[in-house]
Amino acid sequence: MNRINQLFASGKRDLLSIYFCAGYPDPDNMAEVIRALENNGVQMIEIGIPFSDPMADGPVIQNAAQQALRGGMSLRKLFAQLDGIRPGVQIPLLLMGYLNPIMQYGFENFCRSCRDCGIDGCVIPDLPFDDYLADFKPVADRYGVKVVMLITPETSEERIRQIDAHTDGFIYMVSSASTTGAQSAFDERKQAYFRRIDALGLRNPRMVGFGISNRATFRAAADNASGAIIGSRFVTLQGETPTPEAAIKQLLEELER
């Protein structure tokens, strides 16, 4: 069973998934970041593929991607750094990135490289769902790579149910129709959105991302899903602290976990 499916089959709640951008702030410390996160109780990791035009990302992740690219990070280098990571890492690992660099690499090559280095799934925010069904899902399934689809408050119920029927990792529930970035609280509109999706009775588990940065936003997300994904706040702390270990410990203190 894929590690993503294993995690959600365990029935655990309040799951914490952390996003970081490959190559930031150090172009060569990916393994150190991954091990620090797992050793401090993070249950899933999303490794960002830096891209020059990250449409869904706010300034924090945009800046991290730009610095990573200037430092020489590429998809090929990312896979090279992941080679051999699996014997010491047990939690699910996903890649998150835009379609352009993945297509430049070749999607089948991408899935093959994911399989070979132990990547369990991927999140491609700008991959159209119909293209996923027709062209990408068959290839990803062949290599055992879960393609995680996103929904937003504007996604129709029909499309949400289609996504639920044709994926089996988890659904990435974007908290709002905006770019990534820390928020201090979720207003009633976002809370109503969470409750509306929960009432649909979807078969797939859900993780909430975008805007999770403190105890209040984490609890609001985790109370309406299996857990939450934190990106911008952790990336900020990476730039402010001396080590990945210090960054994740600071974040956990802010979440009071």
Token match 């270990």: residue?
245
C-alpha–C-alpha distance, residues 134 and 46, integer Å? 25
From the candidates 14, 28, 38, 46, which is the catalytic residue? 46
Q: Where are any strands of DSSP class E within the chain?
A: 15-21, 44-48, 93-96, 121-123, 146-148, 150-151, 171-174, 206-209, 227-230
Closest to 33 (Cα-Cα) out of 239, 257, 180: 239
Q: Is the peptide bond before 25 cis (omega within 30 degrees of 0)?
A: yes
Stated as kind and residue range, the H or E segment containing 192 is helix 188-198
Respond yes or no: is residue 57 known to be catalytic: yes
CA gyration radius, the chain: 17
Which one from 28, 32, 53, 57 is the annotated catalytic residue? Answer: 57
Decide if 240 is catalytic. Answer: no
- Taking CA atoms, 194 is separated from 30, 94, 111, in Å, by 33, 24, 32
Vertex 176, ends 174 and 182: CA angle to 5°?
A: 85
Active site members: 46, 57
